[in-house]
Every structure is written in C-alpha cells, then in structure tokens.
Amino acid sequence: MIETFRNIFKIHDLRKRILFTVFILALERVGTHIVTPGINTEILAQAMKQLSGTLFGLYDLFAGGAFSKAAIFGLGIMPYISASIILQLLGAVIPYFQRLQKEGEEGRKKIIQYTRYGTLLISAMQAFGVAIFLESLKDAAGNPAVANPGMGFRLLTMTAMATGTMLIMWMGELIDERGIGNGISLIIFIGIIARFPSAALEEWIQLSSGNRTILEELFLIVLAFAIVAGVVVLTQATRKIPVQYAKRVVGRKVYGGVNTHFPLRVNTAGVMPIIFAQAIMFIPNTFFQLFPESDFVASLSSYFAYDSWFYWFVYGLLIVFFTYFYTAIALNPVDVADNLKKQGGFIPGVRPGKKTAEYLDMILTRITLPGSIALALIAIIPYFLVKFFNVSYNYASFFGGTGLLIIVGVALDTIQQIESHLYMRHYDGFMRGGRIRGRR
C-alpha cells in the first residue's frame, strides 16, 4: 500500500491531477464558510438547529453544511443535480431529448448546455426562496436574522448564491477535465466527509464521560467496517448476461464471433432511491413547521420523528418503490435489446428483439428486489443505532443512509481511475493479490 502511494507521486501527470483536485476541493470548502452579506450568524445558527429533521436538513447534507450557514455556496451542487435529473426524465417522455441522447457527442454537448441553463434558472429561483426564508427567521427574543429585509437583500442573496452554484459547477467540470475522479460527486463527497470530525468528537465525549464503554465502542467500529464491506458488495454486485456476436465478413476481415457478457447491476439506481425517499419523508416535518404548535400537530409530527418506527417503515417501503422506479428510467431493456440486435449480438437461447427485451426485463426485476431490500436495510441502520445504542444521529449517519452510499461509491470510482493510471504505466494497484470488480 505504501509503495502504491509512492508510485502515484512518481507519475507526473497523476500527481498533477491529484494535487489539482485537492486544490479545487479546498477552494470549495472555503466558499462554504463565506456568509452571504446582511445576515446575523448567531441568530441564524439558533434557528437552523430546529430544522435538522426537515428538507432543509437534507439540503444542508448535500451542501456540506453551507446551507445552515447561509454561505455563498449555500445551495451547493443540488440545482445542477436537479437540472440533470429533470433532463434525464424529459429524455424518457419527450422525443427531442430522446434524439439528443442518441446523437452521441454532439447530443451530449447540447444536453450539457441545457443542464447549465437549467442550473442557473433553478439556482436563481431557489436562492430567491432562501432569501425569503432567511427573512422569516428570528431568535427567542424576536430579533430577525436579517437586519435589512426587502427586495435589495433578496436580489443580493439571489445573485450571490446563484453565482456560487455556477462556480461550484465550473469547479466540478474543472476536476473532470484536469483532475481525477468525478468532480460533482467529489464535491458532495468532501461536504459529507467534512461533518465526520465533529461527529467523531461527539462520540469521543460520550466515551470519555463514561456514557459508552470501550467494548461498545469496539463493537461500533467493527460494525462500521462490516457495513462498509456490505455497501461495497452491493455497489459492485452484477449479474452477467452472456452475449454472443455473430461472425461478419467484410472484405478480407472477419468481425464478431466472440463471446462476452452484458453486466446488469444489482443496484442500478445507486443512491437516488434514498435521496427521493428521504426528500418525501422530510416533507411532513417541513409542512408542520408552517403551522402553530398544537396537540394535533404534535401528534401528527410524532409519527414522522426519527425515533418513530412508522417513519422508518414507510421510509424503507419508499426506497424499495423508488429503486424500481429509477431503475426503469436508468436502464431501458428495449433500448439494450435494439442495440444488441444492431450490433449482431444475441443472448444464447433467446430470440433477438422483443424476446430479448422481455428476458432482460425479467432478470432486472428479479435482481432489483434483493438490491432494493438491501438498500432499505442500509438506510435504516442509523435508526437502530440511535434507538438501541444511544448513538447521536450525526455519528450514526455514517453507518448507513445517503452519506455512506455516496462516500463508498465516490471512493470506489476515484480508486478505479487512479489504478487505471497506474496500470497504464505498469505499476501495481492498491491490491496486488486481487482486483476491484468493475475496474476499467
């Protein structure tokens, strides 16, 4: 392992890419601490503590803590992700975007350009809404978080935060072009990792104060390694569908006649089902914040509290549903079958065309069920840790859920890209005795 790290910095191009990536990520973290002008940070911090279980808390997770500070990077990269998802959904229903997705490099460039325009529009609208939301925040004494509310403050906040989002998007594209790894994913990754020191400090205080024994702490550490290993298996697991290509003679050359496989991922949807499910489960608590306190509102909100079994049961069911939903959008068996037919490929024992699409759909439906259940179990692990081990949710969130899946997925992708550079120059990877499945 030490020799591998030495080899990484022996390669000039790889060393340059890694240092550039670290530099861009450091700049991004600086922007999360620059507060938008005109805001009282002390009053803001008091008000934001009450919003951890709402949609704003979820948003703050992906913004790396910048939203709760009302920083210029407060919107994070979520407007870009929202624009990307919207265009992906439009590609499934609107013929124009379907054609763009099939036009190769030129179509991809147009989709990227539309995504940028959509990011600017969404970030401007969200920033204007955030400005109105900030004007409504007050402390216990009734002092407002914004000293001079009005259209001037709203326009300033809209300009600052929308510009911050476009800057983050540009940073992500710079990492894609001149760095290592996926830029957007790494920005989200570093924002989640930035919360770990404070979570670990909370756990250390629990241990030093005698609220947790060393044996319990060791059990949590072993459990963390086991969960991470399970997430890696879930992320990398595939079902290989055998594919044969017929021989074609073109002039004096023979093409095809090879046996290969088409990989179907057990977790095709990735982390998106948890994000969708979490967003929906946060809507009730966000909605209850708009009403004055009463016994009826309190009884309803108790069902959607973190310590309620009803919350986590519905949460798990939504994850299973959205896993199937997003898998159907991300992978179309009809398109796969058509591409195989055009390339002269076929699955042994299955007729090309419609029968191949039906066969792939059946396999995908079957392997998605255990994948969705495993995804739901990983998502609700923090609940059991909070309920039975008295672990703070800030620390327990690193044992499962959205954060852990993003951390593992981005880490695996970055390691694969680093190892591809090493192998091109005849160096060993991180593991000499094995290989990471899915490595390219």
pLDDT at 55: 57
CB atoms within 10 A of CB 229: 11
The answer to whether domain 1-194 has CATH 3.40.50.720 is no
DSSP-assigned beta bridge partners for residue 239: 264
What residues are paired with 345 via a beta bridge?
245
The domain locations on the chain are 1-194, 197-399
Q: Comparing 1-194 with 197-399, is the CATH topology the same?
A: yes
pLDDT tens, 195-239? 888 888 888 888 888 777 888 888 888 988 898 888 888 888 888
At residue 344, the 3 state secondary structure works out as: coil
Q: Answer yes or no: CATH 1.10.3720.10 is held by domain 197-399.
A: no
Pairing of strands 253-255, 259-265: unpaired
Name the nearest CA neighbour of 401 among 383, 384, 378, 385. 378
The pLDDT value given to residue 83: 86
Please give the backbone phi and psi of residue 238, each rounded to the nearest 5 degrees, phi first.
-140, 155
Secondary structure (DSSP) of 264-288: EETTTTTTHHHHHHHHHHHHHHHHH
Q: pLDDT truncated to tens, each residue of the chain (440 aa)? A: 666 667 777 778 888 888 999 999 999 888 888 888 888 888 877 777 766 555 566 667 666 677 778 888 888 888 888 888 788 778 778 888 888 877 777 888 888 899 999 999 989 988 888 888 888 887 777 778 888 888 988 999 999 999 999 999 999 889 988 888 888 888 888 888 888 888 888 888 888 887 778 888 888 889 888 988 888 888 888 888 888 877 666 666 666 567 788 888 888 887 778 777 876 777 776 677 666 667 777 777 777 776 778 888 888 898 899 899 888 877 888 888 888 888 778 888 888 888 888 998 999 999 999 989 998 888 888 878 877 777 777 777 788 777 788 888 888 888 888 877 777 766 555 555 555 544 44
Q: Which tokens is 182 given?
A: 């996926």
Torsion of CA 352, 355, 358, 364, to 10 degrees: -40
125 contact partners, CB below 8 Å, separation of at least 6: none
Joined tokens for residue 360: 């792939």
**Would you give the distance in Å from CA 272 to the centre of its chain?**
7
How confident is the model at residue 86, as a pLDDT? 83
Secondary structure, 3-state, 165-183: HHHHHHHHHHHHHHCCCCH
Q: By the 8 A CB rule, do 413 and 232 touch?
A: no
Tokens of 418: 């680093």
pLDDT at 244: 84
Structure tokens at 195: 């919360």
3-state class (DSSP) for residue 254 = strand
Burial class (CB in 10 A: 0-12, 13-18, 19+), 439: middle
> Which residues are bridge partners to 74 per DSSP?
none
CB 360 within 8 A of CB 335: no
pLDDT of the residue at 363: 92
